Structure 1
Amino acid sequence: MSESNASATRTTPGNALRPEDIAASDLKPSTDVAEYALRLGDDSLILAQRLGWWISRAPELEEDVALGNIALDLIGHARSFLSYAGHGLDKTEDDLAYFRREPEFRCAHLFVQPNGDFARTIARQLVVSHYQFELYSRLMHSTDPTLAAIAAKAVKEVDYHRDHSSQWVLRLALGTDESRRRMIAGLKLTWPYVEELFVDDQLIDTLGDAAVRPSTLRAPVDSLLASLFAEAELEIPAVPAAVGGGRHGKHSEHLGYLLAEMQVLAREHPGATW
């Protein structure tokens, strides 16, 4: 395919959508679509940074590899969404990842939460993977062709993430007394941040069919999790929802510490390549 015929929505086998395609495309998003892509990209970027911490620290060597691969998948999703957002904001994906301050990030609070122990990480991953699977399954039908193409690739990878976290929940919940205690504790710490994922706002109203309305995802996600919890002999934690605001740049101190580590090299050596 010649450069003149290149498309930002190429999804044929072996020729899938790449961030480089998006950055070079003539399909420039509106400011609202760019803001939406920024939200999705920030979710994946921040969670990838969290999961990367587990490499060399997971309870099994195989799990080092599994969590590392999930983090790499999320980096790929983040690159695509941030490239598209940057295309509309006249910034590169690196500009958006490494040179924004805390209030400029649009990730939901759940993605920023500390790893805690392995069970808490799995609890967070369980919710995130089920949420993202339902989100991308619907975003594949977006009226924005680039968002649809990114989602079409991401949903296949998130399906594996969903299976991985589900198997670990069963293993921990039905294992020893200690593993079950930790799984229940991890879910209780995770659940206050679930509500924010499903909140609609003015941006969603403005975007219409280009975006996925978060509130429509709540029922299918709850249904899938309820089925898994029944199998694992667990109950949905009865805890109050935490204060949201992540989509509008209102974050806890956790994001600041994470960004300080993630951004330090790029800020110390701006423009460096290797």
Structure 2
Amino acid sequence: MTTHTQSNAAKPVLVTVASGKTGRRVAARLTAAGEPVRAVSRSTPTRFDWEDQSTWRHALEGARAAYLCFVPDLGFRGAAETVGAFARLAVSLGVSRLVLLSGRGEEGALAGEQAVRASGAEVTIIRASWFNQNFHEDFLLDSVRAGEIALPAGDAAEPFVDADDIAEVAVAALTGDGHAGEVYEVTGPRLLTFHDVAKELGQALGREIRYVPQTSEQYAAVLTEYGLPLDLLELFDRILDGRNASLTDGVRRALGREPRDFGDYARNTAASGAWDLSL
């Protein structure tokens, strides 16, 4: 059961960064559920860019709710001011419900969360750390294909979470009752080190995958090669120190079921051919 009225139900749900790992999943699930969706990114007809405030109003006008995924990361400098300004504009245009994707264990992201709450909207926070999908929908795709995952993660254990779980929690919060004011820390069902991840990926693929710990200096060169912001290195240093080495019940509280497991993700993705060496 949803809380919006029949007239309000005709208004779309805005999905920002709809080309991203979570945004496109949120948009697809909303559409499948029969919800009107306005999925926006830098390349959509209704253009949306976090760095260009002139694109915000057109994206927001007429929407009843919005999924906020700030890129590159909510914990980066200036992010809180940006999402806060967007949230205030959203409320002034009649958007009553905001669901914000935040970072688990990121002190810098807390300011962004507070800025969105201060808008006066009904707000739900989803805190997530490492996505399973980072290994095939991001810069780690080439690493898995090459058989060597190099990261400055040491022996830290992570509760890798599936982007499909994040999307389903977001859709529940965007459309259902009882989620306003909630903070859902979402994790998978197991803690895994990157050595464990490499082993499970190798088992799924039938070939050896190694994890090679790197220093911060070594990894800075990798980020530069891929054109990624060096702020990511600071983020890795902060969140890959073991602070997230615990499991939470966020998925269960939001959806009433257990989260997806990394092993299932690895097997399903291997079967899809995403890591085939011929690609």
Shared fold per TM-score greater than 0.5: no
Q: Which has the higher helix share?
A: 1
Give the TM-score, by structure 1 length: 0.29
Give the TM-score, by structure 2 length: 0.29
Q: Which has the higher strand share?
A: 2
